[in-house]
Amino acid sequence: MGLCCVECFGDSFIKGYILDMGQAGDCDYCGSKGVAIAGTRHVGGFIRDGLSRAYEPLCENGIRKSLAADRRLHEAFTVREAFEEEGIFSEWVVERGGDGRLYEDLVRDSGDERCDIPDLLEGGHATLILRDQFNVETGTGATVFDFSWREFKDYVKHYARFFDVGGTRRTAGGKTGDGKREGLKTGRDQILEPISELLKRLSLTLPRGQAVFRATKARDIPYAPDTKDRRVRAVGPAPVSRSSHNRMSPPGISYMNCSSEPDTCISEIRPAVGERVYLGKFVVRKNLSIIDLSAMRRIKQSVFDPGYYHPARWASDFLDKFRMEISRPLLPDDSPVQYIPTQVFAEFVRERGYAGIKYRSSQLRSGHNFTMFCGPRASDYPLEGQKGERRGAGILEPFTRWLRLEAIQTVEITGIQFEYRLLCE
């Protein structure tokens, strides 16, 4: 059994485990002197326990565990690859060439019958897969549905678009007070619940006084913005009667889409050369809590954290796919069905009480967009309450309560710049 040290590892929880051992000495692997050390048998066991929270073997006794496991073969790891994926070794020990020998000793010295992870040296090059990311009962004919962004898109497009409705169904569980079988909730909230905690970590305050911009094509506005009322309407969200499909909302639901810079919002509406555009500058009236997906990095909790929560790993990957989806350029031939998954998820974010989503522009690499969950003024809706006030749960606040129009300009497009990459020649 060798002696490794805190300098050998990059994970703070492994370092903490070694420090708690209370032993000091010289490291056999990176050469550090007079540092906190521990035996590879103990540290290896701690690492095995951590890996078992997130990984499982693809095979047991030479037999693949299930077809569900086969579906996740693209996420398979060797044990060494799992070490790398979890950032176990420090650059310090790698640069000194001690990581290979340390890896072998950790696996060999900690191997025993209690370990969930097969011993690499005794059992060969074991193949590990991530544990089921998020299993949920569905009404699609399958007993278990392993949700990823790809599968979520397929589900809401082709099976149950509005699957909050009837979100419980009878199971073989216990009976409720009225004598009915206890239902298993199968709606969107159950499927997306692991993401709720992650959203809190991605929340951002759009501060009062922040400037945002919105552009509309002049030919789409059937009147001249020659009064205050018309100026506000010209660059506000479209009336519900004219709202169309977009990434965040279906026809009939009109959100306020704006950008952080004038060039970004103009490029998003893709005007032609010679076309006139109305450019509105708005100022945020009050602090707004939004979700920032513009520069999202994968938020991965250490598997060596005793409080490790595995569904959050799925949630992080899910959000990253959503971020890429909403930043993908729209193509003329895109079917409205392609927008459904992002529309459903945007509504989920809205129902969690957030005011909007910030994301990267698909048209201008340096720009950012905002989808604000506020809509047209009350008078732009077919049905309105007395004195122009809409009534009922789930209504959109008028955008004028969140944003104040500071200025409007009419601009003419004099040129368009393109970026491109060579695909073949």
pLDDT tens digits for range 186-226: 455 666 766 777 788 889 999 999 999 999 999 998 888 88
DSSP of 325-392: HHTSPP-TT--GGGGHHHHHHHHHHHHTT--EEEEE-SS-TT-EEEEES-BS-GGGSSS--GGG---S
* Greater pLDDT, 267 or 176: 267
Rounded CA-CA distance 403/355 in Å is 12
pTM > 0.85 = no
pLDDT of residue 157: 72
pLDDT of residue 25: 96
Read off the pLDDT of each residue in 410-417 and give the average, rounded to a whole number: 91
Judge residue 231's burial from the number of C-beta atoms within 10 Å of its C-beta, 0-12 exposed, 13-18 middle, 19 or more buried.
middle
Rounded CA-CA distance 348/195 in Å is 10
> Does residue 128 contact residue 56 with C-beta atoms inside 8 Å?
yes
**Range scoring the smallest mean pLDDT among 53-57, 85-89, 179-183, 338-342:** 179-183
Among 59, 48, 3, 50, residue whose Cα is nearest residue 27? 3
pLDDT of residue 134: 40
Residue 332 φ/ψ region, left for φ over 0, alpha for ψ in the -120 to 50 degree band, beta for the rest: alpha
Rounded CA-CA distance 98/74 in Å is 30
**Is residue 124 scored above 80 in pLDDT?**
no
Strand partners, 168: 185
> Does residue 317 contact residue 148 with C-beta atoms inside 8 Å?
yes
* Greater pLDDT, 54 or 145: 54
Question: Within 10 A of 127 (CB to CB), how many other CB atoms are there?
Answer: 17
Instruction: Name the 3-class secondary structure at 7.
Output: helix
> Does residue 10 contact residue 90 with C-beta atoms inside 8 Å?
yes
Instruction: Name the 3-class secondary structure at 43.
Output: helix
Q: 305 to each of 60, 83, 211, 310, how far by Cα in Å?
A: 26, 15, 41, 11
Among 78, 179, 167, residue whose Cα is nearest residue 121? 78
- 130-139, 140-149, 346-355 — most confident range: 346-355
Cite the beta strand spans of 227-349 per DSSP E: 256-259, 276-284, 288-292
**Is residue 35 scored above 90 in pLDDT?**
yes
Instruction: Name the 3-class secondary structure at 198.
Output: helix
- Report the percent of the chain where pLDDT is more than 90: 38
pLDDT of residue 404: 96
**Range scoring the smallest mean pLDDT among 18-27, 43-52, 149-158:** 149-158
pLDDT of residue 73: 52
pLDDT of residue 26: 96
**Which amino acid is located at 51 in the chain?**
L
* Mean pLDDT score across all residues of the chain: 78
**Range scoring the smallest mean pLDDT among 147-161, 260-274, 298-312:** 147-161
**Range scoring the smallest mean pLDDT among 102-111, 128-137, 222-231, 369-378:** 128-137
CA quadruple 294, 280, 354, 252: dihedral sign: negative
pLDDT range class, residue 383, cuts 50, 70, 90: low
pLDDT of residue 425: 77
Judge residue 292's burial from the number of C-beta atoms within 10 Å of its C-beta, 0-12 exposed, 13-18 middle, 19 or more buried.
middle
233: phi then psi, degrees, rounded to nearest 5: -65, -35
CA 384, distance to chain mean position in Å, is 36
Rounded CA-CA distance 295/62 in Å is 43
Domains of the chain: 3-130 (no CATH), 135-199 (no CATH), 204-316+336-384+394-412 (3.90.228)
Dihedral angle of Cα 304, 74, 342, 402, to the nearest 10 degrees: 30
pLDDT in tens, 276-314: 999 999 999 999 999 998 865 556 789 999 988 877 777
**Is residue 145 scored above 70 in pLDDT?**
no
Q: 153 to each of 129, 228, 324, 345, 385, how far by Cα in Å?
A: 23, 42, 13, 10, 37
pLDDT of residue 139: 41
CA quadruple 50, 51, 54, 58: dihedral sign: negative
261: phi then psi, degrees, rounded to nearest 5: -140, 155
pLDDT in tens, 230-243: 999 899 998 887 77
**Is residue 55 scored above 70 in pLDDT?**
yes
Read off the pLDDT of each residue in 21-25 and give the average, rounded to a whole number: 95
> Does residue 98 contact residue 88 with C-beta atoms inside 8 Å?
no
* Greater pLDDT, 167 or 148: 148
